[in-house]
Amino acid sequence: MCSRCFSITEDDPCDVCDDQRRDGTMICVVAEAKDVFAIERTSAYHGRYHVLGGLISPMWSFLVGPKRAKQMSFVAGSQVSGATSADWGWANYSVPEAELWDNVAALAGQIAKVPLPTLRMKKASINRVAEIQGFRSAMSMGAETDALLHFSPEVIELHELIKSKGLKGAIAEFNGSEAS
């Protein structure tokens, strides 16, 4: 596993993270390593990645606590608003969609004022604390769990249901209601 982006790899860092030609100002957050491979096949994206390790990952416990992580994991089709995400600790804060890009640009401008060596040191120290708290182990466990679950008969059956009815239809059937 790559220690930078958390993608599946034999080398650490992975080839993408090790590629100095990549645009370090762009990051694409994806659910699973297979999403990186799919995007890379297009040759259209030249930034970096962050792999979450699945849509509902054990690492979420670090961000929102085990009770909320279980709630989101156990209930198919769970959704939260931006404001709830901020309240739970998934996001620093939420802004109306119309203000998103201006807000991101302002934040990036503030971060850009900090010297790069200082940013690197701060990121490394924060990441080290997360690692001491077990974050890397949770990421590995998430990837392992995700890989095992994707080959279980129940998940294979669910994938077939999604193919035939679409995601909303499959969630509705799973939850015992009609899709809207």
| Cβ 28 vs Cβ 39: under 8 Å | yes
- State the alpha helices, DSSP H only, in 66-99: 66-74, 82-88
**How many other CB atoms are found less than 10 A from the CB of residue 10?**
8
State the pLDDT at residue 116: 93
**How many other CB atoms are found less than 10 A from the CB of residue 158?**
18
**Which DSSP state fits 120?**
H
C-alpha angle 132/137/142, rounded to 5°? 145
Instruction: Give the pLDDT of the chain (180 residues) as one tens digit per residue.
Output: 788 888 888 888 899 999 999 987 777 877 778 888 888 888 888 888 888 766 556 667 777 888 888 887 777 666 677 788 888 887 888 888 888 889 989 999 999 999 999 999 999 999 899 889 887 787 777 777 777 777 788 878 877 887 888 877 877 887 776 544
The amino acid occupying position 60 is W
State the pLDDT at residue 180: 46
Instruction: List, in order, residues 6 or more apart from 137 with CB less than 8 Å away.
Output: none
Q: What are the residues facing 30 on neighbouring strands?
A: 51
State the pLDDT at residue 77: 62
Q: What are the residues facing 47 on neighbouring strands?
A: 23
Question: What's the pTM value of the predicted model, to 2 decimals?
Answer: 0.50
